[in-house]
């Protein structure tokens, strides 16, 4: 159960047995059934979550009621309303399970002292954030320079495991197009 997240963390930093123990003791288990919410707008964002098993989406609902998927998460990914988490604001995102999911959460107020005690964890999360930042950069570039068909093909190459797992209308939403358009794009391939 915990060896998965341990291996995940140790890809970026090295921990001794005591540090691993300590880390595990800070994690909270969470289960969410498909179509249930891990987070909803207005709630305090106390945790960020590591996905042990399952599949989720984080989306924003605008004033017109339109959904906009910001992120998917499957095994080995982290998910939260990061903006709210970091700024200590109430959530503005929905995080909803697409499949029954099993998560490990770490609380913000526990993270800060952990950084102090074991700076390697500050490094770990800096590296994770940096990678996420870089991924967003290329998503921006993609949306600036490519048409819908190219973006879809890029998505399939970058996230093949997600493409196989979530319904097309979710992917369309993530790409910023309608399900009808995606259908026509797929037909043209």
Q: Which stretch binds a copy of itself (CB under 8 A): 9-17, 35-43, 96-104, 132-140?
A: 132-140
Q: Which of 14, 16, 62, 189 binds a copy of itself (CB under 8 A)?
A: 62
CB of residue 65 vs DNA: minimum separation in angstroms?
11
Rounded Cα gap, residues 186 and 189, in angstroms: 5
DSSP 8-state class, residue 94: E
Instruction: Please choose which of DNA, a copy of itself, none residue 129 contacts, taking the beta carbon within 5 to 8 angstroms, the exact cut-off set by kind.
Output: a copy of itself
Instruction: Please choose which of DNA, a copy of itself, none residue 123 contacts, taking the beta carbon within 5 to 8 angstroms, the exact cut-off set by kind.
Output: a copy of itself
Residues sharing a CB contact under 8 Å with residue 33, sequence separation 6 or more, in sequence order: 97, 100
Place of tokens 């963390």: 9
Instruction: Please choose which of DNA, a copy of itself, none residue 149 contacts, taking the beta carbon within 5 to 8 angstroms, the exact cut-off set by kind.
Output: DNA
Contact criterion met (CB below 8 Å) for 18 and 64: no
Interaction of residue 176 with a copy of itself, rule CB under 8 A: yes
Contact criterion met (CB below 8 Å) for 79 and 56: yes
């Amino acid at each position: 159960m915990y060896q998965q997240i341990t291996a995940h963390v140790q890809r970026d930093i090295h921990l001794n047995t005591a540090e691993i123990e300590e880390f595990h003791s800070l994690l909270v288990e969470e289960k969410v059934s498909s179509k249930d919410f891990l987070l909803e707008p207005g709630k305090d964002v106390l945790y960020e979550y590591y996905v042990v098993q399952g599949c989720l989406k984080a989306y924003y609902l605008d004033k017109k009621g339109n959904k906009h998927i910001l992120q998917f998460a499957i095994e080995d990914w982290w998910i939260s309303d990061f903006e709210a988490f970091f700024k200590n604001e109430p959530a503005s995102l929905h995080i909803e399970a697409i499949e029954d999911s099993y998560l490990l959460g770490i609380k913000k107020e526990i993270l800060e002292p952990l950084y102090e005690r074991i700076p390697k964890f500050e490094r770990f999360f800096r590296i994770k954030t940096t990678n996420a930042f870089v991924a967003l950069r290329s998503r921006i570039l993609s949306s600036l320079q490519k048409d819908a068909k190219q973006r879809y093909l890029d998505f399939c190459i970058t996230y093949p495991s997600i493409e196989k797992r979530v319904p097309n209308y979710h992917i369309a939403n993530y790409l910023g197009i309608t399900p009808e358009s995606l259908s026509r794009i797929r037909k043209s391939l």
